[in-house]
Structure 1
Amino acid sequence: MTLAGLAQADAERTVPRRIFNIFRLVVAGLFVVAGEDLGLGGQWPEAYLALTLGYVAFALVSGFPFALALGDRRLVALQFAVDFVVLVGVMAVSGGHGSGIAGLMMVYVAGAGVLVEGRLPLFFASIATLLVLAENTWRALTFGGASDTVRVGIVCIAFFAIALTTRLLAARARTHETIAEARGEALGRQQAINERIIEDMHDGVLVFGQNGRLLQVNPRARELLGPGLEAGAHMPALDAAVAACRASGSFDSMQLPLGPDERPMRCRALLAHTAGEGEGDVLVYITDYADVQKQIQQQKLAALGRLTASMAHEIRNPLSAVTQAAELLGEEKRVEVQERLVRIIGDNARRIERMVRDVLALGRRDEVVREALPLAPALAAIVEELTLAGEAERARYALDVPDDATLWIDRAHLHQIVVNLLANARRYCSGEPGAIRLFTQELPGERTALHIVDDGPGVAPDKREQVFEPFATSDPKGTGLGLYIARELADANGAQLELLPDAGGAHFVLSGRRTP
């Protein structure tokens, strides 16, 4: 062990050593005051008195702070050495083993196991054993007989057993104490970091206790809700949010009037920890709704910028083809070449028209009129619309939707989302009966998932990240806006459109609430 480790270990044992010093002084005092009543010192009273008075003096001197000049470890070793010598001396002048001093020596051996490290406890057990055996041998030689030899041997074995046991227990206790201190320091550092993070958060943060009163509030919350907001305050405006969070585990409201001017703010609450059902502290995040709208607007502008740049690039190609074909058409006299040029112009013009139509559909993203739409008749109507060619085409679609399946969504938006997904599935599927499957699944939290799966080659792993990006397509005749628009319309309805990583064909799922 290093010097720093030894110094720390000595510092940790300061309190136990002080307690044992008091115990040593009490024992010495009892020897002096109540020795005769305890039946001690009967064989040599004068020697007993001198020995116990000296022990009292030693206990007083060694227990004072100036004794630390010897160094803690050397002082403790000296104290236990004197203890065992004095106790054996008291035993010798009090009739030997029958005086009961050997039992008291066991307490001192146990104390040595707690207060010193390494092999020293065994060393002191050895000293106690040698001294007791020497006393017993002297008594046998002086007074004759050795009737206490067996009991003395048992006591000496007990010395070593106690020393080993206390040494192991003390080592384990010190290990646990070290671990606890390390964990306490780590917890303190983590708590300081968490408090600093909360202090610097852009959102307001409130922590409500079990009694509904504030436990903690950060500066941003004071800025939003008023400078007088402090721990211990009661906020009636958030009682409903806290109660809803305790009931369901979370609460989210986009607009809640809060603060002195009752500005609309977003309030999001969740249980910080769960002590039991509906119990625990509640963590509430407060965001100024103006900041939310500003962030949404920035995201819209960024998306619009990306879309505009992509559209400029995508329109330029067919427009160049139209321009070049028109120039050649004026010069070309052959009828078959003129027909081919006219066909090129028509194809590229229709491609531009589809692109403009898709972008116009994206512009209607915010025109949402949601309803609890029954999915079975809505999907059947869409499939019927797409399969006017006959029963063979209708057989490609396997529709498995229960009559009670509903989705909280705009009817026109659902139509466009499903049509776009089915157009992709029809393009890549095998064309066999049941190649495209539509089925629903009930999810926790009153949610419904609509699955659309085809048996085609699926989406390549390196293309999955870009599948919802605008103008990302593997079809030379496609615009690449279908899936992008489908996801945007799903987001506008509070739903999610995802591509699941299934083996085989493409597997899209549209999930959202069943009811308002």
Structure 2
Amino acid sequence: MPARDPIEAAAFAVDAADRARRRALRYLNVFRLILGGLFLVAGEALGLGSESPRLYLVAVVGYLAAVLSLGFPDAVRRLGFERVVTLLALADIVALAAIMWVSGGYRSGMPVLMMVMLAGAGLIGEGRMVMFSAALATLAVLVENASRLFGGGQSVEFLQVGIFCAGFFGIAAIARLLALRAQANAALAAERGVALAKQQAVSAHILRDMQDGVIVVGARGRVLHANAQALEMLGLTRAGDGALDGLALADLDAGLEDMLQPAVGEDGRLMRVGAAGRLLRCRRVQGDRGSAAEGDTLLYLTDYEEIQRQLQQIKLAALGRLTASMAHEIRNPLSAVTQAAELLGEEKRADMQARLVRIINDNARRIERMIRDVLALGRREQTMPEALRLAAFVREILDARVFREPAEAQLYELAIDPALTLAMDRAHLHQILDNLLSNAARHASGAPGAVRLWAEALPHAKVVLHVQDDGPGFDEAMRAHLFEPFFTTHPKGTGLGLYIARELAEANDATLALAPSTPGADFILTASQQP
């Protein structure tokens, strides 16, 4: 349903209140006609008009004529609604006072009917008209009883008359207060209606212009709302934002019910759904308890293919810069290899030949490492995450390093709970930790336990792994460039180790960062416990 314009909503609220008052006036006029007809038909049986039947008949017929003439819509158009309400209230008081005058006074029951009419007028009328009608009814009752006392010498119970007169004002005041309260509630409802209309307009504008698709699913799997972006992503050709409203996801035969599976949580999941089979990131958010959306499910759809195209463009641009940087970085070791090879052909001494061969081998391995790291970027998206036993996996890596470098046997201290798991690609995690441990071993003091590895579980099924050394650490200038490609503090380093490590971590939905303000360097790897 489209959002109502705020001005239109306010006018609608005022018009609704006016229609309610007109409806109440019609009901009250029906009661007046029934009452007048009862007086006309059964007045004599009820003991009314016994003192002056002719005057009684004139009062009843005049009352019916006034109600009929003022009850038609033409009278409201000619005189106005407020004037019609006032005239009808005066007709009630005058007619009932006249009937009371010729029917034995207040004992005829007319003051009770006056109270009923005052209550109706108080609920419908506005301003001081209600209290004026109460004063007029009081005056009519007092004058009638005074005339009986002084004119005919009849006894009058002024206590009961006074109670009736006080009742007139009490009923009128209560009815007026109720009417004012109803008007205040109507004004508040109109104000809130305007605010709600504005909020609905803003929400509709957001849903219409946002890039993500939004589907609201009810408790029984039926679609309550879906914006146009969601229809486009799912490959549905129906027109209009409300095209899916009332339909069940399972009936669309496009695999959409898979989005309601528990595996699709608030963190999202990549899925190919819909008739178009597009790759979407689906997030499922359940309505909060006690809210208006309780029991409903919100599905947020993000076009991941578009994101991948944008990332591919960024990656190609970065690859161009990387290629230019690699050409410069490879030139230095390649020049050293070429020069050493030329000198090797001229050199006759065995020790110098061995030195030149070592230079060639070192620079060749440097080029090989650089190419291997660049190739790792191409395998960034080929992830196969699994829940790895973190303590056992790290122990295997440490054993392999100690086997290659026995001097590092006492260098590492491991403090990881054997029950902790970390969800990452095995080869990627191995390369990340190997890079971090190589940097830590290079900068650590070399004392036993100089490189410490420890982990802890975090909320939301996360685990954090620390690789900390007691080296000099990094100053602020170095921290700003630490994860940039080809930035290195080692003369024989490629400058790609930390850059590749962070790229591989992000490919596994993990993060790699350097802890701030710690002695030495403390690299933090944060990932999920389960894939």
TM class, shorter-length? 0.7 to 0.9
- The residue that corresponds to 2:83 in the other structure is 74
Deviates more, 1:377-386 or 1:50-59: 377-386
Provide, for residues 391-423 of structure 1, a one-character-per-residue CA deviation record: whole Å limited to 9, x for no partner. Answer: 7643xx4x4322222223222211232344566
- Taking the aligned partners of 2:443 and 2:45, their CA distance within structure 1 comes to 106
**CA contact 2:384–2:424 (8 Å) conserved in 1:** yes
**CA contact 1:10–1:72 (8 Å) conserved in 2:** no
- Give the AA of the match of 2:67: A
1:299 maps onto 2:311 in alignment: yes
- The residue that corresponds to 1:141 in the other structure is 150
- The residue that corresponds to 1:270 in the other structure is 284
Q: 1:255 aligns with which of 272, 275, 284?
A: 272
1:155 maps onto 2:160 in alignment: no
- The residue that corresponds to 2:389 in the other structure is 374
Provide, for residues 104-157 of structure 1, a one-character-per-residue CA deviation record: whole Å limited to 9, x for no partner. Answer: 222222222221234443333333333333333333333446643222323333
Shift in CA distance, 443/28, structure 1 to aligned 2, threshold 3 Å = same
- Compare relative contact order (CA 8 Å, sep 6+) and give the higher one, 1 or 2: 2
- Taking the aligned partners of 2:45 and 2:298, their CA distance within structure 1 comes to 68
- Give the AA of the match of 2:310: Q
1:497 maps onto 2:505 in alignment: no
- Taking the aligned partners of 2:164 and 2:442, their CA distance within structure 1 comes to 94
- The residue that corresponds to 2:36 in the other structure is 28
Shift in CA distance, 503/162, structure 1 to aligned 2, threshold 3 Å = farther
Q: 1:364 aligns with which of 361, 379, 392?
A: 379
Q: 1:100 aligns with which of 98, 105, 109?
A: 109
- Give the AA of the match of 1:268: C
- Give the AA of the match of 1:440: E
- Taking the aligned partners of 2:88 and 2:283, their CA distance within structure 1 comes to 62
- The residue that corresponds to 1:48 in the other structure is 56
Kindly tell me the number of residue pairs found equivalent between the two proteins. Answer: 481
Shift in CA distance, 451/372, structure 1 to aligned 2, threshold 3 Å = closer
- The residue that corresponds to 2:3 in the other structure is none
- Give the AA of the match of 1:14: R
Q: 2:261 aligns with which of 244, 257, 266?
A: 244
Provide, for residues 138-182 of structure 1, a one-character-per-residue CA deviation record: whole Å limited to 9, x for no partner. Answer: 333334466432223233333333333332322232233333344
Shift in CA distance, 374/53, structure 1 to aligned 2, threshold 3 Å = same
C-alpha deviation, 1:185, in angstroms: 5.1
Which runs of structure 2 are paired with 1:322-341 in the superposition (5 Å)? Answer: none
- Give the AA of the match of 2:465: H
**CA contact 1:453–1:507 (8 Å) conserved in 2:** yes
- The residue that corresponds to 1:235 in the other structure is 252
- Taking the aligned partners of 1:146 and 1:455, their CA distance within structure 2 comes to 112
- The residue that corresponds to 2:484 in the other structure is 470
1:88 maps onto 2:97 in alignment: yes
**CA contact 2:411–2:450 (8 Å) conserved in 1:** no
Shift in CA distance, 454/407, structure 1 to aligned 2, threshold 3 Å = closer
- Taking the aligned partners of 1:503 and 1:249, their CA distance within structure 2 comes to 33
Q: 1:407 aligns with which of 422, 427, 440?
A: 422
**CA contact 1:426–1:436 (8 Å) conserved in 2:** no
- Give the AA of the match of 1:299: L
1:126 maps onto 2:135 in alignment: yes
- The residue that corresponds to 1:451 in the other structure is 465
C-alpha deviation, 1:99, in angstroms: 1.9
Shift in CA distance, 285/317, structure 1 to aligned 2, threshold 3 Å = closer
C-alpha deviation, 1:363, in angstroms: 3.0
- Give the AA of the match of 1:152: V
**CA contact 1:250–1:271 (8 Å) conserved in 2:** no
**What secondary structure sits across from 1:511 in the alignment?**
strand
- Give the AA of the match of 1:75: V
Shift in CA distance, 139/431, structure 1 to aligned 2, threshold 3 Å = farther
Provide, for residues 341-396 of structure 1, a one-character-per-residue CA deviation record: whole Å limited to 9, x for no partner. Answer: x9xxx9999998876554343333234344332111112344563895457643xx
C-alpha deviation, 1:101, in angstroms: 1.8
- Give the AA of the match of 1:88: A
- The residue that corresponds to 1:14 in the other structure is 22
**CA contact 1:318–1:348 (8 Å) conserved in 2:** no
- The residue that corresponds to 1:338 in the other structure is none
- Give the AA of the match of 2:505: A
**CA contact 1:97–1:148 (8 Å) conserved in 2:** no
Q: 2:66 aligns with which of 51, 58, 61?
A: 58
Shift in CA distance, 71/313, structure 1 to aligned 2, threshold 3 Å = same
Shift in CA distance, 70/248, structure 1 to aligned 2, threshold 3 Å = same
C-alpha deviation, 1:72, in angstroms: 1.6
- Taking the aligned partners of 2:365 and 2:163, their CA distance within structure 1 comes to 107
- Give the AA of the match of 2:252: M
- Taking the aligned partners of 2:177 and 2:473, their CA distance within structure 1 comes to 65
| Structure 1 spans left out of the alignment, 5+ residues | 328-341
**CA contact 1:273–1:280 (8 Å) conserved in 2:** yes
The alignment-based identity, stated in percent, is 38
- Taking the aligned partners of 2:117 and 2:227, their CA distance within structure 1 comes to 55
RMSD of aligned residue pairs (Cα, Å): 5.0
| Structure 2 spans left out of the alignment, 5+ residues | 1-10, 340-355
**CA contact 2:13–2:189 (8 Å) conserved in 1:** no
Shift in CA distance, 468/80, structure 1 to aligned 2, threshold 3 Å = farther
- Taking the aligned partners of 1:21 and 1:71, their CA distance within structure 2 comes to 16
- The residue that corresponds to 2:456 in the other structure is 440
C-alpha deviation, 1:62, in angstroms: 1.0
Shift in CA distance, 64/255, structure 1 to aligned 2, threshold 3 Å = closer
| Length-normalised TM-score, structure 2 | 0.71
Provide, for residues 426-474 of structure 1, a one-character-per-residue CA deviation record: whole Å limited to 9, x for no partner. Answer: 7999999688552131654xx441232759999999999x688634979
C-alpha deviation, 1:52, in angstroms: 1.3
Provide, for residues 210-250 of structure 1, a one-character-per-residue CA deviation record: whole Å limited to 9, x for no partner. Answer: 55555656666379546479654722443752652599789
Shift in CA distance, 311/223, structure 1 to aligned 2, threshold 3 Å = closer
- Give the AA of the match of 2:454: L
